[in-house]
Amino acid sequence: IPEIDLPGHMLAALAAYPELGCTGGPYEVADSWGVFDDVLCPGKEETFTFLESVLSEVIELFPSEYIHIGGDECPKVRWEECPDCQTRIKELNL
């Protein structure tokens, strides 16, 4: 079962695509294991476009019935401070 851990554990993706984070970066690839505050920004549509592209490619490469998308270890500190995230939270009544 392939695993693409998101929305946390995405520093490498954020380093390549800083526009997908809440702060816009700059971001650096982690050089140690851990849980980091910088995660994907669900308040931006381009984040979902990116995820759809990544997951479509994973599905094509690994024709499994299942894909593990993680979902754990995602600090919310950036989301709490991000105007894009707060707008989406209010729109969806989350």
Q: Would you place residue 10 in the very low, low, confident or very high pLDDT band (cuts 50, 70, 90)?
A: very high
**61: exposed, middle or buried (C-beta count within 10 Å: 0-12, 13-18, 19+)?**
exposed
Please give the helix or strand (H or E) that residue 22 lies within, else none: none
Q: Residue 4: phi, psi to the nearest 5?
A: -120, 100
Q: Is the pLDDT of residue 92 over 90?
A: yes
For the annotated catalytic residues, the residue numbers are 73
* Confidence band for 75, pLDDT divided at 50, 70 and 90: very high
| Distance of alpha carbon 56 from alpha carbon 63, whole angstroms | 10
Residues 6 or more apart whose CB falls under 8 angstroms from that of 20 comprise 10, 13, 14, 40, 41, 44, 46, 47, 50
Q: What confidence tens digit (pLDDT) does each residue in 16-56 have?
A: 999 999 999 999 999 999 999 999 999 999 999 999 999 99
Q: What is the pTM of this model?
A: 0.90
